[in-house]
Amino acid sequence: MSGVQEHSKRRVCYYYDSSIGNYYYGQGHVMKPNRIKMAHHLILNYGLYRHMEIYRPFPAQYEDLIKFHTEDYITFLQQAVPDNLKTLNKQMVKFNVGEDCPVFDGLYEFCQLSSGGSLAAAVKLNKQKTDIAINWMGGLHHAKKAEASGFCYSNDIVLGILELLKYHKR
């Protein structure tokens, strides 16, 4: 038999905020944060929640986000709302925000939730308070230092790795 033990008692934590399903990239866009909410309901309805600790993460703060992203990019994300698109046109081009990565209501808050979950998961791992950490609100790894890309605005994966590197070698 292999070295994997059946029914091992691993500590699992899961980060979720119920407001994540309220964000909307727009009609016809393939990215649908409501799917995260649907996955959460499956976790509840299938009883998987009994095997993990569920946490609501704190939103990532500006200071957290600029550990990877540039200050001008994060400031732009804070200011970008559908009502002021015309005044931000040059910045939208500069930061690759448009069709693939549209501006929508609550964009910055969405980034805060996504990144906050991954940062909290990394901290929990660093403190050895869990063996497995899950943040299905995250995984938005296409975002670049000063640019949105592939439906991703903040790169929660890089932020989580930077947190893990505080305690773990490369």
Catalytic residue ranges? 142
And the tokens for 85?
């698109």
C-alpha to C-alpha distances, 140 to 46, 88, 136, nearest whole angstrom? 26, 23, 10
Return d(Cα 135, Cα 119) in angstroms, integer. Answer: 9
Q: Is 80 left (phi over 0), alpha (psi -120 to 50) or beta?
A: beta
